[in-house]
Protein backbone atom coordinates (compact mmCIF):
# COMPACT_ATOMS: atom_id res chain seq x y z
CA UNK A 1 0.00 0.00 0.00
CA UNK A 2 1.21 3.51 -0.71
CA UNK A 3 2.00 5.60 2.35
CA UNK A 4 -0.98 7.92 2.01
CA UNK A 5 -3.39 5.03 1.57
CA UNK A 6 -2.02 3.51 4.78
CA UNK A 7 -2.44 6.78 6.66
CA UNK A 8 -6.04 7.06 5.46
CA UNK A 9 -6.68 3.52 6.63
CA UNK A 10 -5.18 4.31 10.05
CA UNK A 11 -7.44 7.38 10.39
CA UNK A 12 -10.49 5.36 9.36
CA UNK A 13 -9.68 2.54 11.79
CA UNK A 14 -9.56 5.11 14.58
CA UNK A 15 -13.25 5.92 13.99
CA UNK A 16 -14.30 2.79 15.88
CA UNK A 17 -12.38 3.91 18.96
CA UNK A 18 -13.90 7.41 19.14
CA UNK A 19 -15.60 8.12 22.48
CA UNK A 20 -18.73 9.88 21.30
CA UNK A 21 -21.68 9.01 23.59
CA UNK A 22 -23.17 12.50 23.21
CA UNK A 23 -22.75 13.52 19.59
CA UNK A 24 -22.50 10.04 18.03
CA UNK A 25 -20.20 11.79 15.57
CA UNK A 26 -16.92 9.87 15.43
CA UNK A 27 -13.81 11.47 13.97
CA UNK A 28 -10.49 9.73 13.37
CA UNK A 29 -7.09 11.18 12.62
CA UNK A 30 -3.68 9.97 11.57
CA UNK A 31 -0.78 12.33 12.21
CA UNK A 32 2.47 11.37 10.49
CA UNK A 33 5.83 12.45 11.92
CA UNK A 34 8.70 13.59 9.74
CA UNK A 35 10.31 10.14 10.05
CA UNK A 36 7.11 8.29 9.18
CA UNK A 37 5.75 7.28 12.59
CA UNK A 38 1.96 7.48 12.79
CA UNK A 39 -0.23 8.65 15.68
CA UNK A 40 -3.92 7.84 15.71
CA UNK A 41 -6.35 10.34 17.19
CA UNK A 42 -10.03 10.13 18.13
CA UNK A 43 -12.50 12.58 19.53
CA UNK A 44 -13.02 12.08 23.26
CA UNK A 45 -16.20 13.62 24.63
CA UNK A 46 -17.23 14.40 28.18
CA UNK A 47 -20.51 14.83 30.08
CA UNK A 48 -19.23 18.37 30.54
CA UNK A 49 -19.48 18.94 26.78
CA UNK A 50 -16.95 21.77 26.52
CA UNK A 51 -14.16 19.45 27.62
CA UNK A 52 -14.39 17.43 24.43
CA UNK A 53 -11.09 16.88 22.68
CA UNK A 54 -11.18 16.58 18.90
CA UNK A 55 -9.49 13.74 17.03
CA UNK A 56 -6.88 16.04 15.51
CA UNK A 57 -5.77 17.49 18.83
CA UNK A 58 -5.69 14.04 20.42
CA UNK A 59 -3.29 12.94 17.69
CA UNK A 60 -1.10 16.03 18.14
CA UNK A 61 -1.01 15.76 21.93
CA UNK A 62 -0.14 12.07 21.77
CA UNK A 63 2.67 12.68 19.29
CA UNK A 64 4.10 15.80 20.96
CA UNK A 65 3.98 14.20 24.40
CA UNK A 66 6.10 11.39 23.00
CA UNK A 67 8.76 13.84 21.86
CA UNK A 68 7.71 14.52 18.24
CA UNK A 69 7.57 18.05 16.93
CA UNK A 70 8.02 17.65 13.19
CA UNK A 71 5.22 16.36 11.03
CA UNK A 72 4.71 15.64 7.35
CA UNK A 73 1.02 14.84 6.94
CA UNK A 74 -2.35 14.78 8.71
CA UNK A 75 -5.38 12.75 7.68
CA UNK A 76 -8.82 13.41 9.18
CA UNK A 77 -11.60 10.88 8.63
CA UNK A 78 -15.32 11.13 9.32
CA UNK A 79 -18.30 8.81 9.00
CA UNK A 80 -19.87 11.43 6.79
CA UNK A 81 -20.43 11.30 3.04
CA UNK A 82 -18.31 14.42 2.55
CA UNK A 83 -15.00 15.14 4.31
CA UNK A 84 -15.12 16.88 7.70
CA UNK A 85 -13.62 20.34 8.05
CA UNK A 86 -11.36 20.66 11.12
CA UNK A 87 -12.51 23.05 13.85
CA UNK A 88 -10.78 26.33 14.58
CA UNK A 89 -9.05 25.10 17.76
CA UNK A 90 -7.49 22.19 15.89
CA UNK A 91 -6.35 24.50 13.09
CA UNK A 92 -4.54 26.63 15.64
CA UNK A 93 -2.79 23.55 17.06
CA UNK A 94 -1.79 22.51 13.51
CA UNK A 95 -0.33 26.00 12.97
CA UNK A 96 1.76 25.62 16.13
CA UNK A 97 3.54 22.50 14.96
CA UNK A 98 3.31 22.40 11.16
CA UNK A 99 4.50 24.50 8.27
CA UNK A 100 1.77 26.24 6.24
CA UNK A 101 2.71 23.93 3.34
CA UNK A 102 2.06 20.69 5.23
CA UNK A 103 -0.58 18.64 3.43
CA UNK A 104 -3.83 17.73 5.16
CA UNK A 105 -6.10 15.07 3.68
CA UNK A 106 -9.78 15.14 4.66
CA UNK A 107 -11.79 12.00 3.88
CA UNK A 108 -15.43 11.05 4.11
CA UNK A 109 -17.07 7.65 3.88
CA UNK A 110 -17.70 7.66 0.18
CA UNK A 111 -14.17 8.12 -1.01
CA UNK A 112 -14.65 11.85 -1.47
CA UNK A 113 -11.37 13.43 -0.49
CA UNK A 114 -10.22 16.99 -0.03
CA UNK A 115 -6.54 17.75 -0.20
CA UNK A 116 -5.60 20.94 1.57
CA UNK A 117 -2.77 22.41 3.66
CA UNK A 118 -2.32 23.82 7.14
CA UNK A 119 -1.89 27.31 5.65
CA UNK A 120 -5.07 27.03 3.61
CA UNK A 121 -7.00 25.92 6.67
CA UNK A 122 -5.70 28.79 8.81
CA UNK A 123 -4.27 31.69 6.82
CA UNK A 124 -2.73 34.65 8.64
CA UNK A 125 -2.44 32.59 11.80
CA UNK A 126 -1.14 33.69 15.18
CA UNK A 127 2.22 31.98 15.76
CA UNK A 128 5.42 32.32 17.78
CA UNK A 129 6.52 34.96 15.24
CA UNK A 130 3.82 37.27 16.58
CA UNK A 131 5.12 37.16 20.14
Question: What are the catalytic residues?
Answer: 56
Segment 28 to 87, residues that bind ligand THU, using CB under 6 A? 43, 45, 52, 54-56, 84, 86-87
- When asked if residue 11 is in the footprint of ligand THU (CB under 6 A), the reply is no
Q: Is 74 exposed, middle or buried (0-12, 13-18, 19+ CB in 10 A)?
A: buried
| Least distance CB 57 / ligand THU (angstroms) | 8
CB 80 within 8 A of CB 52: no
Among 4, 9, 17, 20, which residue sits at the site for ligand THU (rule: CB under 6 A)? 20
3-state secondary structure of 124: coil
Query: Alpha carbon of 76 to those of 30, 50, 119: distances in Å?
Result: 7, 21, 16
Please report, as ranges, the residues that interact with ligand THU according to CB under 6 A.
20, 23, 25, 27, 43, 45, 52, 54-56, 84, 86-87, 90
Amino acid sequence: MKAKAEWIEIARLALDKAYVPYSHFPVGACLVTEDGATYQGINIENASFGLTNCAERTAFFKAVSEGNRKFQHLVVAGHTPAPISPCGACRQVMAEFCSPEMPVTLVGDEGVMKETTVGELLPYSFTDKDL
